[in-house]
Structure 1
């Protein structure tokens, strides 16, 4: 089930965005066009991010995992993105601190997707010393997609 959430049509490699708002505009627009989210998703994800920031201080680069409540999701997904250049994103649990984020994993769950378990699998991988350098080194969307699908714990 977890691997099925990683959508090839949502993989974005080396996007250029100026800030979090522009990222949300571009990614949410794509999610809406492809039928993954409702038209309420953009406002919901921005509001949730304001209250509960999602950047993680992973090393050597921070990662953000924005998500919203289930009522805004049509089809569950993981949309992995590597930005061309980092943007500011407030840190989870320390919203006074802004991290520079280049990797964003936007998540959409519908309730029965085992999202708590999936988040733990992702966090475990993000803490692996080799994982982020591997994300940095991929050259193509397909390689990025396959690397995300090969995360430890995503086997089923």
Structure 2
């Protein structure tokens, strides 16, 4: 896969149920921290960045959030994906006074600053494909989501 971004089934969380984005992001962070993908500074910096630069995105029927932080808090590039049983509220990246109830969360751990913008651009093109978002959201199979994401990131 392009740029060696790790999409591992252990970072794909199906039908997740959390009370807040803080709880969800803490859980996603802990799973990557256990595998030494990110540094222990990741969560704190992720939340700080989220408060300044929100990551909720209104992509139509299925809304997404793409929380991430700076590469110095990452050891190895990876994406953690959570499909949510009930949406989690994020601030809208286009208007921080608005809330977005995200159905899918793609937490990015990018280890190279030069890869961050191209990855975000590629993800934005994926998010414009309603049928692919529905496929990811409705999947009950981690390996299926992994295959979908790997194919979409390769295209």
| TM-score, scaled relative to structure 1 | 0.91
8 A contact 1:36–1:74 mirrored in 2: yes
1:48, distance to aligned residue in structure 2 (A): 0.2
1:137, distance to aligned residue in structure 2 (A): 2.5
Residue 94 of structure 2: aligned partner: 93
8 A contact 1:52–1:93 mirrored in 2: no
Is 1:49 the counterpart of 2:50? The answer is yes
Number of equivalent positions: 154
Q: Note closer, same or farther for the CA distance 1:48–1:19 as it changes in structure 2 (3 Å cut).
A: same
Q: d(CA) in 2 for partners of 1:76 and 1:117?
A: 13
Residue 70 of structure 1: aligned partner: 71
1:122, distance to aligned residue in structure 2 (A): 0.9
Q: Which residues in structure 2 correspond to 1:113-132 (within 5 Å)?
A: 114-132=115-133
Q: Deviations over 1:106-130 (max 9, x none)?
A: 1111116622112111101111232
8 A contact 2:7–2:150 mirrored in 1: no
Is 1:2 the counterpart of 2:2? The answer is yes
8 A contact 1:59–1:132 mirrored in 2: no
Q: d(CA) in 2 for partners of 1:83 and 1:117?
A: 26
Q: d(CA) in 2 for partners of 1:47 and 1:25?
A: 13
8 A contact 2:21–2:89 mirrored in 1: yes
SS of the residue corresponding to residue 130 of structure 2 reads coil
Is 1:61 the counterpart of 2:62? The answer is yes
Residue 29 of structure 2: aligned partner: 28
SS of the residue corresponding to residue 74 of structure 1 reads coil
| TM-score, scaled relative to structure 2 | 0.92
Structure 1: 5+ residue stretches without partners: none
Residue 103 of structure 1: aligned partner: 104
Structure 2: 5+ residue stretches without partners: none
Point out the structure with the larger helix share.
2
